Amino acid sequence: MPDLSNVDFDLIIGSSVLGILVAFLVFGFLWGIIRGFKKSLIRFITVLVFGAVALFCTPMIVNSMYDSTVVAEGLTLKGFIFKLVQDNPAITDYVSLNLIEGFALAFANLLVFFALWFLLKMVSWIIYALCSIGAYKQREDGSLPKRYRWFGGLLGMFQGLIIFTLFAIPFIGLINVLDNSSAKIFATYDSLKDVPAITSQVNLEEYDGVVGAAKDGIGAYRNSAAKKIMDYSGMSFIANFGFDHLTNVKVSSGAQVKPFKELNGVIDTVNNAIEPFISLFKLFDTLDQLSNPDFLTNLLKEDGVKELIQEIFDAIADNKMLSDLLVEQALTPLISTLGDSLPEGVTVGLNPDADNQALIKAIGGTLVSVLELVDELQVQSQVGSGSQNAEVILDIISDLGADAINGLANAINVTLPEEYTDMFTEPGGILDTIYEDGDIDSAIVEALMNWFNLTWTPTPSE
């Protein structure tokens, strides 16, 4: 990664933007003095009118071009987008077609507006020249009217500010989008650097230069004199209004989409999902540093760990991209490894037809209970008896409940050989024990039978 630590962003961004703005103001002021108040007023009005025309006509122009103007590969912009989605259907698993179209139309609006405003500004010179003829007619006594040049200069300076604002709408809007979301991204990045479990796998220091440059660059604009001038003069409001207008687009489905605001929502979702992971990694690191051999037992005793695990899985389940990633990169290999270590005839696998988000939610809702089951069985295998193990299993099954078991059944396929199904269905087996116990809901029994494909009738009591 390039070393940007010595780059002076305050000078490059703050001073350059201020220099351009001052040039517009000085140029406008000088032209205003030359023209005088009347001609400056005519020029000011033409700028406002043509600026408004460019702003409000741009979406209509882009919409008319969207499905009629060829942009690439003999396709219109709409055709190109739909072909892209058709060739890569997985894209819509993570980003809606509405959002893809929204970004395309929004960027098209910004580009067309910039070009149209530049063109109309040239046309406005002609209109101004025609309208300003006779602005300073000689009086009957032969004297010339006063031009009020200083007032013209002030009006010209304000006109320069407006012209600068209209040209800067796309850039100011995009910088504001970055500014609004960057704080959360930078905070998450800094948190990741504090987690040894992550830094041992990824050298985040390689990206410090780029991240630091992004921070400095955005901060340089945020604190620049140019931005303060724009804020205090009300031009920031105009620039933000223009950007919102150009990026609030209507897509083919008829929906009104604000892609950049939705992008901030996506960033929030990802950050909200990452934060619990960071907390859990830090917890793992703490326990690892304690070199405690009873890792699982101590993990489950940590304050808030059950809620934290549930929070992590809920956050992931709310996002399809993260759910797919976890299933493909973690759960599928884990289940495969687990299957290799199971007794002969026992098979476990993820349901290929299951929705990954539902799968994550189902596992998240039961993971703590399953971890407790594993922990208790480890303890019982060391100090307890088989009957105690059975009691523990029944307690955990009862805690899980029928809904959770059905959720796991929909997510994970389990096949048991006859010797294991007999443990459930034989007289005096697990299901008979549950039936005789009477404390476990019959819906739980039915859920277990459906999951393991069991056939069972209660053994008559003697």
This model's pTM is above 0.75: no
The larger pLDDT score, comparing residue 431 to residue 63, is at 63
Among 94-98, 160-164, 209-213, 388-392, where is mean pLDDT lowest?
Answer: 388-392
Q: How many CA atoms lie within 13 A of 288 on its CB side?
A: 9
Helix (H, G, I), strand (E, B) or coil at 102: helix
pLDDT digits (tens, 9 = 90+) for 194-206: 766 566 666 777 7
Instruction: Tell me: pLDDT of 118 over 80.
Output: yes
Tell me what the pLDDT averaged over the chain comes to.
75
Count of other CB atoms within 10 angstroms of residue 122: 9
Please identify which residue in the block is written with the tokens 């809007």: 173
Q: Which of 64-68, 77-81, 213-217, 386-390 has the lowest mean pLDDT?
A: 386-390
Least confident among 289-293, 324-328, 364-368, 375-379:
289-293
The number of helices, as runs of H, and strands, as runs of E, in the chain is: 20, 6
> How far is the C-alpha of 87 from the C-alpha of 98, rounded, in Å?
17
Strands (E), 258-345: none
Name which of 417, 397, 413 is nearest 405 in CA terms: 397
Mean pLDDT of 309-331: 74
Average pLDDT over residues 251-255: 82
- Residue 280 has a pLDDT of 62
* Contact between residue 283 and residue 299 where contact means Cβ atoms under 8 Å apart: yes
C-alpha distances in angstroms, 34 versus 100, 117, 145, 148, 250? 49, 24, 14, 10, 45
pLDDT of residue 387: 46
In 271-400, DSSP assigns E strands to: 347-350
Residue 385 reports pLDDT greater than 50 = no
Predicted confidence (pLDDT) at residue 139 exceeds the cutoff of 60: yes
Q: What's the pLDDT score for residue 384? A: 45
* N-to-C CA span, the chain: 78
**CB under 8 Å to 395, separation ≥6 — which residues?**
none
Token pair recorded at residue 248: 């609030």
Structure-model confidence comparison of residues 167 and 221, the more confident one: 167
Quick count: other Cβ atoms within 10 Å of Cβ 177?
17
Mean pLDDT within 370-382: 54
Phi, psi of 267 (to 5 degrees): -65, -40
Interatomic CA distance for residues 332 and 359, integer angstroms: 12
| Strand ranges in 297-400 using DSSP code E only, listed in sequence order | 347-350
Gyration radius of the chain's alpha carbons: 34
Q: What whole-number distance in Å separates Cα of residue 289 and Cα of residue 284? A: 9
Q: How far apart are CA 185 and CA 192, in angstroms?
A: 11
The token pair that represents 321 in the structure block: 């991209």
Show the tokens assigned to 65. Answer: 């071009």
What size, in residues, is the chain?
Answer: 462
pLDDT value of position 319: 72
Segment 28-83, tens digit of pLDDT? 899 889 888 888 888 889 888 999 999 999 999 888 887 777 766 677 777 877 77
Distances (CA, A) of 404 to 256, 338, 347, 369, 439: 39, 21, 20, 10, 17
Confidence category of residue 282, pLDDT binned at 50, 70, 90:
low
The phi and psi torsions of 436 (rounded to 5 degrees) equal -70, -35
Between residues 386 and 58, the one the model is more confident about = 58
Could you tell me which residues come within 8 angstroms of residue 209 by beta carbon, excluding any fewer than 6 positions away? 1, 2, 3, 4, 5
pLDDT above 80: residue 110: yes
pLDDT over 70 at 22, yes or no: yes
